[in-house]
A and B are shown apart, each in its own frame.
Chain A
């Protein structure tokens, strides 16, 4: 159904789609004026966008292995960039990033630098070479470059550990949004989210995921940027916030100095609902040590270059050249959202704490704040809380608490934007979480179906049978993820940052050295993957069970330790064992040159 023609018409197809979505937003705002309830608008936004993704998923159905695994390798650079950006930016990036910046300031900004800087490593060290290799999955590269089922299997293990850690958080996010927007209990909403995710990926595999991710990127970027620009203009902060918020940033610093950061007693804090925080850190001042900042950024950068669901997006481009450029486009599309998050955090914070603004609540009397409509709404949603600790009847900076999600979710309402924007934001968050979950589930299912089932268990399997296995695995992994998400133990399994650390512990050096060090061999790679993953995981367990850690490596940066062990193990074991044979060395030479046939055939 979607062939040649469709690829040529992509700009037109997605142009019409974008126009249609904007028209839908306008229709919804007219509906709001006419008195349609907020709840109906929320349902319409989520249901309409998810239905579109499902249609795209259905139209992209396929029975061919290379379409299922790598979208037929014909995704143009710019569109692959959009798909990667959607794949990359999770529900957490969308909903929680601005909140993280709002509360933690500079220390959190290390994540922005890390999650973008990693793409330089992807572009220069890995993506073009893996594209030339012609693999379907990341373990496919490891298994062929180093040889042997053990190395392939170890790569699948690392991939599964890292991606599964990540995916439960994403399914959880789709469930949260679905439960709020559709007004159903979370335990069921998780499965509604899961079914939406599977609709995109099951029939078309990578091809379906690619074209839904492009559609999801368009929704999520509109949903993020529109409110930021609107709020900035409405507050009179500036027509183009990114270039014009310097006064607001310095005004926040001024207010911080005026109010001071008063430390609350433990007893007072007991009153505050779980998950809410107050403003305790400076907004734009440097509030972390250089090593704390750099180690976190470094861990995220190396993790970015090791996460298989991102790497496999570059297997879908038509050429090596296109893979390189596509990384640039990916980062450009990510940059659009990431550079807006700090602006949203600034606008949100100033609108709340500046007493000279009509929306400012600090300095007002407590009873006055408690009577505000939006305060009551968000207080009920357990995302806002005030309490008069010092008993003077006035709200102080240290007496105001908010949840991280509220920065994205509540700021439009506080600034007095119409409800249609909140519906749009819900659709954007859903798109962000779904696209990432799809990429992750597909990465795991493809690795198990291609590398474990086809390459190790049954190399003679027919294409039809392989694709059935791939789809069954997709459903099984999705359900496993949803079941764990429904248990709501996200604090343990949902940490997105851990996924980066697991991936870099086990995969960074085996991947990079596979291209850049000819002498690296099978024994070295297996040792690097196994010892890296085990030592990284052991460090995490040790620190979480009260261990002091060393060199300032925390539970968020344990990958630095894991990958260091991986590097040493890989180099030492490689040098102690035989050099790779001539055929492997020749293979590495060929990978380094863009021209010529890929190492693995079109169908393999």
Chain B
């Protein structure tokens, strides 16, 4: 496998993981919205309500930064990152 193919395989792996986490917090948990709302979540809010107000939104922010860092590492590993600028 060429260097480029390996790089793409790893990138696809990261994409799959990112989309899996995204799926859980944007779709998965809301399949059980009613049941989850019985539980008390962070800061004392009902759990599903908290996810819709803050939880899922905040997790998306963190997820994007995590993804960006991981992808940068992959690019560096194969020498494909850009030089100089940020």
Contact = CB atoms under 8 A, between A and B. Distances in A.
A120 B46 contact: no
Nearest to A242: B54
Contacts of B56: 113, 116-117
Contacts of A113: 26, 30, 51-52, 56-57
Contacts of A125: 15
B58 to A, nearest CB: 7
Interface in B32-86: 32-34, 37, 43-46, 48-49, 51-54, 56-58, 60-61, 63-65, 67-68, 71-72, 75, 79-83, 85-86
A327 B43 CA distance: 28
Contacts of A358: none
Nearest to A243: B43
A325 B68 contact: yes
B80 A593 contact: yes
B1 interface: no
A507 interface: no
Interface-centre pick from B18, B53, B56 (highest chain A CB count, 10 A):
B53
B53 A286 contact: no
8 contacts: A113-B30, A113-B52, A113-B57, A120-B22, A243-B43, A286-B37, A318-B86, A342-B52
A109 interface: yes
A124 B56 CA distance: 17
Nearest to A120: B22
B85 A318 contact: yes
B18 A120 contact: yes
A123 interface: yes
Interface stretch (A37-45, A289-297, A414-422): A289-297
State the majority secondary structure of interface residues on B: helix
A284 B49 CA distance: 6
Contact of A331 (B27, B64, B75): B64
A332 B61 contact: yes
B11 A592 contact: yes
B22 A325 contact: no
B46 A284 contact: yes
The 5 lowest CB-CB distance pairs between A and B, nearest first, are A246-B44, A109-B52, A117-B26, A324-B68, A328-B64
B31 A247 contact: no
B85 A328 contact: no
A319 B53 contact: no
A246 B31 CA distance: 24
A305 B54 CA distance: 21
Contacts of B26: 113-114, 117, 120, 297-298, 301
Interface in A323-339: 324-325, 327-328, 331-332, 335, 338-339
A331 B46 CA distance: 24
A82 B65 CA distance: 16
Contact of B57 (A320, A321, A339): A339
A30 B42 CA distance: 40
A144 to B, nearest CB: 20
